[in-house]
């Protein structure tokens, strides 16, 4: 009898050990230390895009191939143009010619998960901090100096953190239709934004071209909408574009809040020129420009409201916005770009 009990207990222990081992393996597979699956949008998806003759450039950062455009003289003042959600460097095709013809250098990266940059397959492999870290490294690797940041949408959320992390590399900042969220206790995000977060994450379809189109005053041509769809041929390619809205800090306990607060400490001492160029027809960020008024470099700048432009003002008024950037850069003290 005792022998039978021991035999049964050993069998149960073995089964329990097996279950425990399987559980450990499952947890390890889901942990941050597990290999992160990456996909790359086929190059043919980017063939024959309208008004986009620019050659791709790549850097390997954290095991990812990160794409960027680099137009204009290599030793000129760099203008770092950062896109938002769910766009990519194609968004800046109307601004690059004016920047280049003014003798400036346009550096236009694609965030991880967007454009021609590599894309994590799992939503949980993305984060606000990850995007900041990768773009910080790109700025260091390109050794940008005397640069001007231009950030719109997520381009501002990421770009302003880069400026705060590497302030000596930047001579000035221009922001459009963006912010650097620092939500307070009890503050709630607008219902429409929370609905957008839910749609982006859970909708069975994610039509990037149509999403960009809804953020413009002018209707986009079919081939332009298709260019915004190009980076996302399958749902596996869409993880970053779907999850990044959920990483916008909208509550005081968001993990990004301490880093954003630290960035604001730098910005509240920023005396270099800081210009806002918001549009007049963006319901998402209307009034956000006032949040930057406490930055010392904000004072005395010719802040502008661009008329007849929506959230993606680069589409509606790209040439006008490019001219504003050029004039801003010309007012800065002379500095070599590298």
**Residue range 273-290: mean pLDDT, rounded:** 95
pLDDT score of 6 more than 50: no
Residue with token string 């079919």: 222
pLDDT of residue 19: 53
> Mind listing the pLDDT tens digit for each residue in 69-80?
999 999 999 999
Apex CA 200: angle with CA 277 and CA 229, to 5°?
A: 75
If asked whether residues 146 and 22 sit together in one domain, one would say no
The pLDDT value recorded for residue 190 is 82
111-125, 167-181, 321-335: lowest mean pLDDT where? 321-335
Residue that wins the pLDDT comparison between 310 and 17: 310
The pLDDT of residue 46 is 98
Q: How confident is the model at residue 187 (pLDDT cuts 50, 70, 90)?
A: confident
Q: Are residues 62 and 75 in the same domain?
A: yes
In a domain, 206, yes or no: yes
Rounded to two decimals, what is the model's pTM? 0.89
pLDDT at 171 over 60: yes
Residue 13 has pLDDT above 60, yes or no: no
| Average pLDDT over every residue of 224-240 | 98
Number of domains in the chain: 2
Q: Are residues 4 and 137 in the same domain?
A: no
For residue 338, the model assigns a pLDDT of 42
Confidence of residue 165 (pLDDT cuts 50, 70, 90): very high
Mean pLDDT of the chain: 91
Do 146 and 215 fall within a single domain?
yes
Residues 188 and 306 both lie in one domain: yes
Domain membership of residue 262 as a residue range: 38-331
Positions marked active-site? 153, 282, 311
Q: Are residues 101 and 28 in the same domain?
A: no
**pLDDT higher than 80, residue 32:** no
Q: What is the CA radius of gyration of the chain?
A: 23
* pLDDT band at 10; cut points 50, 70, 90: very low
Residue at 336 is within a domain: no
Band (pLDDT 50/70/90 cuts) for residue 2 is very low
Percent of the chain residues past pLDDT 90, beyond the cut: 84
Same-domain check for residues 56 and 84? yes
């509550």: which residue's tokens?
Answer: 251
By percentage, how much of the chain surpasses pLDDT 70? 89
Per-residue confidence (pLDDT) for residue 275, from 0 to 100: 98
- 74 and 187 part of one domain: yes
Euclidean distance between CA atoms 126 and 250, whole angstroms: 17
For residues 267-276, average pLDDT? 98
pLDDT band, very low/low/confident/very high, at 159 (cuts 50, 70, 90): very high
- Are both 127 and 244 inside the same structural domain? yes
Residue at 58 is within a domain: yes
Q: Give residue 35's pLDDT.
A: 83
Find out whether the peptide bond into 166 is cis, omega within 30 degrees of 0: no
User: Confidence class of residue 335 from pLDDT cuts 50, 70 and 90?
Assistant: low
Q: Would you call 44 helix, strand, or coil by DSSP?
A: helix
Q: Residue 65 CB: number of other CB atoms within 10 A?
A: 14
pLDDT score of 256 more than 90: yes
337 found inside a domain: no
Containing H/E element for 315? Answer: helix 313-316
The verdict on 15 and 101 lying in the same domain is no
Q: 154 and 195 share a domain?
A: yes
pLDDT band at 143 (very low <50, low <70, confident <90, very high): very high
Q: Is residue 246 part of a domain?
A: yes
Same domain, 27 and 152: no
Does residue 299 fall inside a structural domain? yes
Name the nearest CA neighbour of 106 among 116, 96, 115: 96
């Amino acid at each position: 009898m005792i022998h039978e009990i021991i035999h049964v207990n050993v069998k149960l222990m073995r089964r329990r050990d097996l279950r425990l081992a399987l559980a450990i393996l499952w947890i390890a597979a889901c942990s941050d230390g597990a290999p992160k699956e990456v996909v790359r949008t086929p190059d043919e998806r980017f063939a024959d895009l309208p008004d986009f003759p620019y050659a791709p450039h790549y850097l390997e950062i954290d095991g990812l191939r990160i794409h960027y455009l680099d137009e204009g003289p290599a030793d000129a003042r760099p203008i770092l143009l950062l896109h938002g959600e769910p766009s990519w460097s194609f968004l800046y095709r109307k601004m690059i010619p004016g920047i280049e013809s003014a003798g400036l250098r346009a550096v236009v990266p694609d965030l991880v998960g967007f454009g021609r940059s590599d894309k994590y397959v799992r939503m949980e492999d993305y984060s606000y901090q990850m995007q900041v870290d990768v773009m910080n490294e790109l700025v260091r690797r390109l050794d940008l100096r005397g640069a001007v940041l231009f950030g719109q949408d997520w381009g501002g959320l990421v770009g302003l953190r880069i400026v705060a992390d590497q302030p000596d590399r930047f001579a000035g900042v221009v922001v459009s239709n963006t912010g650097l969220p620092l939500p307070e206790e009890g503050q709630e995000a607008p219902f429409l934004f929370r609905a957008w977060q839910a749609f982006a994450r859970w909708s069975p379809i994610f039509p990037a071209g149509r999403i960009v189109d809804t953020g413009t005053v002018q209707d986009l041509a079919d081939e332009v909408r298709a260019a915004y769809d190009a980076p996302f041929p399958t749902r596996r390619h869409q993880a970053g574009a779907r999850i990044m809205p959920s990483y916008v800090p909208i509550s005081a306990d968001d993990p990004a809040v301490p880093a954003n607060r630290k960035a604001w400490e730098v910005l509240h001492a920023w005396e270099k020129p800081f210009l806002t160029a918001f549009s007049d027809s963006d319901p998402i960020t209307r009034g956000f420009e006032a949040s930057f008024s406490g930055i010392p470099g904000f004072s005395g700048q010719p802040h502008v409201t661009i008329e007849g432009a929506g959230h993606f003002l680069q589409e509606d008024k790209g040439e006008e916005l490019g001219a504003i950037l050029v004039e801003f850069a010309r007012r800065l003290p002379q500095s070599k770009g590298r």
